């Protein structure tokens, strides 16, 4: 086994702490002199991610030199381990009840078992780099990038780490739509049709939950506006940074709406719709199967693991099969042939 104390590889892990201060909570960086009072309108995770992403950009490395920082530190950031595997991505983790935020390179295996953590969508760093050189506005939009499924999967992962654990399923479904549909100014307008598809109707609780989580703020509709729907300003900096390629994100949002009710999933139950969406986001559609740790799916849906089993039981008519392996904790499922 390799010792890591004198490891010459780059330390691509950065941490900020939230400390109480006389003028309000302060964001204190463990890498640089940064010490900033947290503004009331900005969530801790947004401020933390903004700052940490700056370090990640400045300490950029070619992907072949990036290593799993979790492994470098003996895999102490997660409870169990079956060896590092998969591509290295940036993982945002929340610790000590949100008093500590860490951004680090982590392999897919470590990332998937780290609680209170989410892979930061690749678009996040790319966007900020592009915006910094000042020329991005003149460039033609590149419709390339992750497909609908990857966008939605990354968004579910990101939201799982950033929304409070008790956030309800309907609120998570709404958050996915808002994050993917907002414009370059961080504003989102959800038309009546989307609200119907989300089965929100007059239910304001999901909006209130997102406001309490400081993700967004609803804004009154312009007088004379006939379109109806709901307008909101996104406050989350992490989501905000993904504004380019909006048509692609809207397409992914439409995909998410469809997948939440595909195969006759009961539209009235947001927990079923969110689980169906989450499974779709992790399904290998070339074969119609999926296999992911059950804990991860539960985390992305905001369920305790026992609740996931109950939901899967109720979702059974929309799945050809599903099972959880007792030894590995892997959830395997298969979609009905007509859906693949
Ligand atoms: Zn710093
Ligand atoms: Zn690890
Ligand atoms: Zn690893």
Inside any domain, residue 337:
yes
Q: Are residues 245 and 271 in the same domain?
A: no
- The CA 102 to ligand 2 mean position distance, Å, reads 14
Query: Based on the structure, what is the number of domains in the chain?
Result: 3
3-class secondary-structure state, position 296: helix
Q: Are residues 153 and 245 in the same domain?
A: yes
- The CA 124 to ligand 1 mean position distance, Å, reads 18
Q: Are residues 159 and 230 in the same domain?
A: yes
Model pTM score: 0.68
- The CA 98 to ligand 2 mean position distance, Å, reads 20
Q: Are residues 231 and 289 in the same domain?
A: no
Inside any domain, residue 9:
no
| Block residue for tokens 């693949």 | 340
Inside any domain, residue 17:
no
Q: How confident is the model at residue 4 (pLDDT cuts 50, 70, 90)?
A: very low
Mean pLDDT score across all residues of the chain: 81
- The CA 83 to ligand 2 mean position distance, Å, reads 8
For 194-225, how does the pLDDT look when each residue is reduced to its tens digit (9 = 90+)? 988 898 877 889 999 999 988 889 987 665 55
- The CA 45 to ligand 1 mean position distance, Å, reads 14
Q: Are residues 118 and 35 in the same domain?
A: yes
Q: Are residues 161 and 118 in the same domain?
A: no
**Cβ-based neighbour number of residue 164 at 10 Å:** 11
Inside any domain, residue 62:
yes
Q: Which of 82, 98, 127 is the last residue of a domain?
A: 127
Which ligand has the nearest atom to the CA of 74? 2
Q: Which residues pair with 22 in a beta bridge?
A: none
- The CA 107 to ligand 2 mean position distance, Å, reads 7
- The CA 223 to ligand 2 mean position distance, Å, reads 53
Cβ < 5 A residues, ion ligand 2: 70, 75, 110
- The CA 250 to ligand 3 mean position distance, Å, reads 33
CB 306 within 8 A of CB 321: no
Inside any domain, residue 139:
no
DSSP state of 31: S
In this prediction, residue 187 carries a pLDDT of 86
d(C-alpha 229, C-alpha 206), whole Å: 15
For 110-158, how does the pLDDT look when each residue is reduced to its tens digit (9 = 90+)? 887 888 888 887 666 654 434 434 444 444 444 455 688 888 988 888 8
Q: Are residues 32 and 123 in the same domain?
A: yes
* CATH assignment of the domain containing 281: 1.10.10.10
Q: Are residues 250 and 180 in the same domain?
A: yes
Inside any domain, residue 75:
yes
Inside any domain, residue 57:
yes
Q: Are residues 41 and 100 in the same domain?
A: yes
Inside any domain, residue 14:
no
Q: Are residues 284 and 249 in the same domain?
A: no
Task: Give residue 294's domain range.
Answer: 260-340
Percent of the chain with pLDDT over 90: 29
């Amino acid at each position: 086994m390799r010792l890591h104390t004198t490891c010459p590889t780059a330390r691509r892990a950065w941490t900020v702490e939230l400390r109480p201060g006389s003028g309000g909570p302060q964001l204190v960086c463990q890498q640089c002199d940064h010490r900033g009072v947290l503004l009331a309108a900005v969530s801790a995770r947004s401020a933390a991610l903004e700052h940490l992403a700056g370090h990640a950009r400045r300490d950029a490395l070619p992907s072949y030199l990036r290593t799993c920082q979790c492994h470098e530190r003996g895999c102490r950031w997660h409870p169990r381990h079956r060896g590092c595997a998969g591509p290295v991505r940036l993982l945002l983790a929340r610790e000590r009840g949100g008093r500590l935020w860490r951004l680090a390179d982590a392999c897919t295996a470590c990332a998937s078992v780290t609680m209170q953590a989410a892979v930061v969508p690749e678009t996040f760093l790319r966007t900020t780099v592009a915006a910094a050189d000042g020329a991005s506005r003149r460039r033609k939009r590149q419709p390339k990038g992750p497909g609908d499924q990857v966008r939605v999967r990354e968004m579910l992962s990101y939201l799982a780490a950033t929304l409070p654990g008790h956030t309800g399923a309907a609120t998570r479904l709404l958050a996915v739509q808002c994050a993917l549909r907002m414009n370059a100014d961080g504003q989102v307008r959800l038309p009546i049709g989307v609200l119907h598809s989300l089965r929100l109707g007059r239910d304001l609780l999901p909006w209130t939950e997102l406001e309490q989580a400081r993700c967004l703020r609803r804004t009154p509709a312009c007088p004379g506006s006939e379109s109806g729907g709901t307008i909101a300003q996104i406050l989350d900096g992490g989501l905000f940074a993904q504004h380019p390629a909006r048509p692609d994100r809207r397409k992914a949002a439409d995909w998410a709406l469809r997948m939440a009710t595909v195969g006759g999933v009961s539209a009235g139950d947001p927990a079923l719709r969110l689980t169906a969406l989450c499974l779709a986001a992790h399904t290998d559609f070339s074969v119609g199967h999926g296999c992911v740790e059950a804990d991860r799916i539960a985390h992305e849906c905001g369920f305790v693991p026992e609740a996931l089993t109950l939901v899967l039981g109720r979702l059974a008519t929309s799945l050809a099969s599903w099972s959880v392996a007792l030894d590995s904790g892997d959830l395997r499922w298969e979609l009905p042939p007509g859906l693949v």
